[in-house]
Structures are given as structure tokens and as C-alpha cells.
Chain A
Amino acid sequence: MFGIVEPRSDKFGSVPARIQSIERAAAILRLLSGRERRLGVAQLAGELGLPKGTVHGILRTLAAVGFVEQDEETGKYKLGAALLHMGSSYLDGNELRARALNWSDSLAARSGESVRIGTLHDGGVLVVHHVFRPDDSRQALEVGVLQPAHATAMGKVLLAAHRYAAAELAAAGLRRYTPSTITEENQLYAELDAVLERGWAGDAEELVVGEVSLAAPIDDRRGVTVGAIGISGPIERLTDAGAPRSDLVSFVREAARAVSRDLGAIPW
């Protein structure tokens, strides 16, 4: 109408050849999002009329990217956390900064150290907010910088909550930055278990010699970890007798809880 050319819909345009394995993967995901929710390889193969070997191969690929997970006891498959978080859990980094502004300022004032807030991005930690160390020394804003996830406290907090990302990162190889950097896959997993257990993470000279960082998770109203907030500074100021200073750890955790509360997470 009116001579306006509407974009042609797929139905009428020429459709490039479709990729069969992606269609099959989509069919599996659709079945797993159905009423049953947990299905075995045989059930899925039966439903789709495909050989078990083919279905198994697709499931293993989907598991590797975190789209499905296998139940350890029953061996059945269900939708993976990565898929659940996708789309619904996305929190705009600029939104996160606006919501966290007062709490991050107050963390910097209480700890006397610089504060950063990060989100998981391309296997790294994207700094979405940065508050200067309150000593009026010359500092530059580092918003937009990508930090390595396995060598920073913020990264460990985020990887602990999103294990599929840790697996991807490990598969690509864990780069060494200092003698203390965790480069072994199993060592990283053990560290992430510990982080999940105690609710905060530390990096002891793992990215820069002489520098320490501490971080805790920011959760949204569904309890999904959408970001991390942390402080960083020299080892002399942040540690005491070789361990992170407990007062600083509690400041970081209190700030993380306060931001989470503002995002609607259930108070604890």
C-alpha cells in the first residue's frame, strides 16, 4: 500500500538451505521445555524418530554450551541454566550502575578503596561501574574495560554462578598473568565451589603482582547472579596476616546485599 515496500517474509522469499542439526537441537529443547521437563535419551529419540546416537551427540553439544544439563542420579536431561538465564536475566549494565550508585559510593567511602561493578561478557568481566579510591589521587575511569574472569574476584563470583561459562573459559585455556593465577581447570572448579559456599571471592595477586581484589554477587529478584561488586587495592592494605581483611569482606558483602535488595532479591 502507498507504494511502501514491506520487508518480505520468509514464507515468500527464497529460503536458504536450513541446517538440519540445528533444527533437531531446537526440537529437543522444545521437548525439554514441555510438560515432562526431564527426559532420557531413549525417550527423546523415540519422540523425534531419530537414532539414539544422533540424539546423544546433539545433547552432548547442548550440554557443553550450557543449554541442557544432565541429572546426575537419573541420567535424564533438562534445560540448562544458561538457557534459563538467557533473555530473562539480562540486566542492562547502565541500569545496574544507576541502581548501585549510592551503595558503591558508600562502599568506596567505607573501605577507602576503589570499587568496580562487573557483568559477565564474552568470557570476561565487563566493568560497568567504577568509583575512584577516595584519596583524590589521579585516577582514570575504567568503565568498559574487560577483565579476565578466572584471575579476578568479580570474575570468580560470576563464574561460580554460571558454571557453563567457566567450562567454556577453561576449554579455551586459562591464561597465566602471575605465578598465582589459576591455570588448571580442576583447580578453578574447586575454587568456584569454595566461592559459592562462602558467598564471596578473593583474588590474591592472581592478575597483578601486589594487587588483591574482593567481590560478592549481586542477585536479582529471581536469585540469579546478574553482576558482581568488589574492591581492589594493594596487598598491604587489603590483607592481614596473609588473609583478606574481614572488615573489608563484610563491607563488600553488605554492599552486594544492599544492591541485590534494591533489585528485588529476597533479603537474607
Chain B
Amino acid sequence: MSERYIASVDQGTASSRCLVFDERARIVSVSQVEHRHIFPRPGHVEHDPREIWRNVQHVVADALATAQLGVRDLVALGITNQRETTVLWDRATGEPVHNALNWQDMRTDHLVRELGGDEGPDRFRDRCGLPLATYFSGPKIRWLLDHVDGLWERAEAGDVLFGTMDSWLIWNLTGRHITDVTNAGRTMLMNLETLDWDDVVLDAIGVPRAMLPEIRPSMEVYGDAGGALAGLPVAAALGDQHAALFGQTCFSTGDAKCTYGTGSFLLMNTGEQPVRSANGLLTTVGYKIGDQPATYALEGSIAVTGALVQWFRDKLGLIGSASEIETLARSVDNNGGCYFVPAFSGLFAPHWRSDARGVIAGLTGYISKGHLARAVLEATTWQTREVVDAMNSDAGVEMSSLKVDGGMTANNLLMQSLADVLDVPVVRPIVAETPSLGAAYAAGLAVGFWPDVDELRAQWHKAAEWLPAMEPAMREKGYRKWRKAVARTVDWVDEDDDE
């Protein structure tokens, strides 16, 4: 019997990628193409959905060709995607009616404040788990309906369809208009309990139900692809962070993963009930396997992690490349009492203080650039600690280890510091491409390529592990100093400061 393979498409913010995995979930082929970011004016960020669809077709074909495989060698295709990015297209022609509004696009700034009204950003949080913010799709749909001529009528009639990137790709692949629960959960329009569109929120934001896709589980056969991929079952869709959670095999309550990039995303599996956060964390659907109950998650994002290292490189010029920060930090034994709180645009979870700005605390004449480099790395560590503490308290479970991925996991000093400060083992998996792996796992489960999640757990391997090795007294002192530094960031922005 010939070998069978599974493919996953990662439609990301910067590029579209296709990875092909073998039966032991090892990568056999990778193809990647970047797409354009369109900036029509400051604060506006768009993609051309047609370009993205072309790129996705290309990377799948290219990944197959590289591995000398045909569509027949694949058992299924899984999809993972940048979340919240919004596409509207014509049902009859399949043509987009506008460029896609990227999740970073800020044009709904006024709209979300208006929608919050007297109740503020948490107006819909009980229903959808999210605060009103520019990222989410619901307000983006409303903006497009308000600003593209004649769209309202066509949307109400069901002639114009909405989708996030998963929907757009599944529509083009299979002709069906569907989305998965994790992506639907990032629109603000889905009710967390019923996992269906919420009429109260639809009414309030002003989005006609007729234009919305059907919400399906994250993994089931949605349909067979046509065209060049004819006959290939499309069997999974997950938002990128949710796919990473799945790819890190965080299948049990309390399992958590953090993806360390420019910013970082920490997600913790909280089991079959949505957990409402008292600390401003987001409540989200982790994944939903077929007919099984949905698995929920808490999400905490840290705005500035790798971005601080970039800032240190580009704005201070103390290092030539991001990796050199480890060399510089290792030139000293500790932070010398110096703490760096990178509240560049305020404090996020769990503090939520927009009036805060960055602070370097504990400066003395003794502090050298090596100490500053330590403080830069520890900023990521302590911010993670704050989010983990908030999660533990919200979820009522103690995280027992942290699975990590993303570019910053190459930094051994940072990973050791994380283990020390969190006082749990920090583990890096052997397949760093966790969103792609998660989508492949999900699609593989849907078609029976892999029998169950236990099999996936058995296939998942550690590439490295860092164990806590810090004296508790040191840890507590460090945390105390960090919190004092955080306290010094607030109440900085005044009303007459220019934004």
C-alpha cells in the first residue's frame, strides 16, 4: 500500500502556506507565497481576496509538486487562517464586493465606541465573550454595509455573503457557504452557549442574518474540492491560535500554549463550559470535534513581546539582530535590578489601562546595556506570568506546564527564564509549525487518518524542555519588583497629549 499524506493550508496575515504531512505527522513539503498589504489611508489595512485565493491554489500545487505527490496521495485538506479578517462577496458571481478588511484595520474605531454607548466595550461580552474592539468582524461587516452603495439591500436578500478567510476558501474550494465555530467566535456575532448567530447582537450591530455562513464544527468533511483539487475532502477549519492550541495537543482542561512572536497569544483549554473572565481575558471556542461538545478556551494576548526586542534593535541599535539579544543578556548574570514595562500603547490583559506608557524602572549608574537586554527579555517573562495568573484564577485550575512555539523559542535564556518565573516546565514541540500541524491533525481526525486524540498525543514530541530552577524567594522578589514597575506606568497619558 502506498503512503498517504495530509495537507494543511495556513492562510496567514503575511502569507499563505501549504504544508504536507506524512502519517507520523512529519513535514514532507512546504510552500509559501506572500500577498500584498493594501493601505488606502492611515489605519486602513486591506487584502485582495482574489490574490489570496490564487496564492492558496498555487501553494497547494507547489507543495505537492515539491514532494512529487498528486491530489490522489492526499486524504484530506485542513485550513487554518488569520482570524477576523472580513470578506464580502457576490453569491452569484463569487466576486468580492470590496477588498478584505484586515484584522489590524482600525476604520471601525468610531463605530465600536458608538456601539458600546453607555454600556461601554463590554456591552456584548456576556453573549460573545469579546469586548467591542476594532479587530472583530461584526463591526467590519457593518462598516462595509454602510459604505458600499447598495450593499444593504443585497445583503438582506442574501445576494452578498460574508466570510472570514476560512469561509472564503471553503466557498471557493467546495461551493458551500460555511464557517467553523472558532472563526465564527471572532465575529462578536456568535452566542458562546448556543454556538449559533445571536439575534440580539445581529440587531444591535446591524448585520442581516441572510449574509452569514452556516456555523459548523472545526472538524468534519465540509465537502470535496473541485477544480485542480477535484475529489479532495476539505475536512477542517480553525483560527490560527485555535489551530496552534490543537497542534500543541492541548486536549485536557488546564493545558496551555503560548505562541511567541511580535506579540504573543496564550490560550488555555478550559473544558466544555465557557469561562467568564474577571480579568479581561477573552472567552473563545478552542475547537469542536464533529458532534462532540465544544471545548472552550481563555485567551490572553500580550501586545509587546518580540516587538520590544525589535525596538531594542532598531531604535536603540544596541544589537545587530534579534538573536544577539541573548548574547548581550548573557554578558551579565542578572538584570541588575532593572525592569522594563513595554506599555507602548497602554497596558493590556489583565490591567487594561490605556493611560499607561512604558517605563524602565530601577535605573542606577550600575546598569549596563547587558542589564537592559535582560530586562527586555524578562518583560516577556513577567507579562506571561501576569496572564497565566489571571487565567489560573479565572479558570480555577493551575496550569501545569506551558507549551511554546513561535520565533522567540529559539532564545534559550528567555525559555529558561519563563520556566523559572512560571515555576512550571516549558516545552517546545518538534514541529514548530503548530497552526499548520493543528489543521492537519483536525482534518486527519475528521477522515479517520488518525483514530483519536490519544494517537495525536502519542505522535507529539518534545524538541526541548526547560525546567524551573529558581529559588522561590528570588521569584517572589522579582515579581514584586515587576509589579512595582507596572504601577509606575499608569496615569501617564493626559487629555492634552496628542494621540
Residues of A within 8 A of B (CB): 92-95, 97-99, 101-102, 105-106, 108-110, 130-132, 134-136, 139, 141, 143
Contact = CB atoms under 8 A, between A and B. Distances in A.
Contacts of B321: 92, 95
B196 interface: no
Interface in B410-449: 410-412, 430-432
Contacts of B412: 94, 97, 141, 143
A69 B327 CA distance: 33
B327 A130 contact: no
B407 A98 contact: yes
A110 B26 CA distance: 8
A141 B431 contact: no
A141 B324 contact: no
Q: Sort A-B residue pairs by CB-CB distance and give the 3 closest, nearest first.
A: A134-B461, A98-B410, A94-B326
B413 to A, nearest CB: 8
Contact of B430 (A92, A99, A108, A139): A108
Contacts of B431: 105, 109
Interface stretch (B168-176, B256-264, B265-273, B462-470): B462-470
**Which residue of B407, B412, B431 has the most chain A CB atoms within 10 A of its CB atom?**
B412
Given A92-B327, A109-B430, 5 more contacts: A94-B410, A95-B324, A97-B323, A139-B462, A143-B412
Given A108-B430, A110-B26, A134-B430, A141 B323 contact: no
Given A109-B430, A136-B461, A141-B466, A101 B324 contact: no
Contacts of A132: 430, 461-465
23 contacts: A92-B321, A92-B323, A93-B327, A94-B324, A94-B326, A94-B411, A98-B323, A98-B411, A101-B410, A101-B432, A102-B432, A105-B432, A106-B26, A109-B26, A109-B431, A110-B26, A132-B461, A132-B462, A132-B465, A136-B462, A139-B462, A141-B466, A143-B412
**Which residue of B27, B327, B409, B462 has the most chain A CB atoms within 10 A of its CB atom?**
B462
Contacts of B461: 109, 132, 134-136
Interface of B: 26-27, 321-324, 326-327, 407, 409-412, 430-432, 461-466
A131 B432 CA distance: 12
A268 B213 CA distance: 50
B26 A92 contact: no
Nearest to B467: A140
B417 to A, nearest CB: 14
A74 B107 CA distance: 74
B299 to A, nearest CB: 25
A169 to B, nearest CB: 25
A208 B172 CA distance: 58
Contacts of B465: 132, 139, 141
Nearest to A93: B327
Nearest to A133: B461
A93 B410 CA distance: 11
A105 B466 contact: no
Nearest to B410: A98
A94 B413 CA distance: 10
B491 to A, nearest CB: 34
A92 B321 CA distance: 10
B464 A131 contact: yes
**Which residue of A94, A98, A141, A143 has the most chain B CB atoms within 10 A of its CB atom?**
A94
Given A92-B323, A132-B461, A134-B461, A105 B430 contact: yes
Nearest to B325: A94
Contacts of A141: 412, 464-466
**Which residue of B322, B407, B461, B465 has the most chain A CB atoms within 10 A of its CB atom?**
B461
A109 B27 contact: yes
B76 to A, nearest CB: 21
Contacts of B327: 92-94
Contacts of A136: 461-462
A105 B437 CA distance: 14
Contacts of A102: 432
Contacts of A108: 430, 463
Contacts of A97: 323, 410, 412
B74 to A, nearest CB: 20
A106 B27 contact: yes
Nearest to A110: B26
Given A98-B410, A108-B430, A92 B463 contact: no
Nearest to B411: A94
**Which residue of B26, B321, B411, B464 has the most chain A CB atoms within 10 A of its CB atom?**
B464
B66 to A, nearest CB: 13
Nearest to A137: B462
A61 B248 CA distance: 56
A130 B464 contact: yes
B135 to A, nearest CB: 29
**Which residue of B26, B323, B431 has the most chain A CB atoms within 10 A of its CB atom?**
B323
Contacts of B410: 94, 97-98, 101
A141 B415 CA distance: 12
B239 to A, nearest CB: 23
Contacts of A93: 327
Contacts of A106: 26-27
A98 B313 CA distance: 16
A130 B324 CA distance: 18
A135 B430 CA distance: 11
Contact of B322 (A98, A110, A135, A143): A98
A12 B445 CA distance: 77
A108 B462 CA distance: 10
A83 to B, nearest CB: 23
A59 to B, nearest CB: 35
Contact of B323 (A94, A134, A135): A94
A132 B463 CA distance: 5
A93 B321 CA distance: 12
Contacts of A130: 464
Nearest to A96: B323
A1 to B, nearest CB: 19
B324 A92 contact: yes
Contacts of A135: 461
A235 to B, nearest CB: 23
B323 A105 contact: no
Contacts of B326: 94
A136 B324 CA distance: 30
Contacts of A139: 462, 465
A96 to B, nearest CB: 8
A130 B463 CA distance: 8
A189 B327 CA distance: 34
B406 to A, nearest CB: 11
B430 A131 contact: yes
A141 B326 CA distance: 17
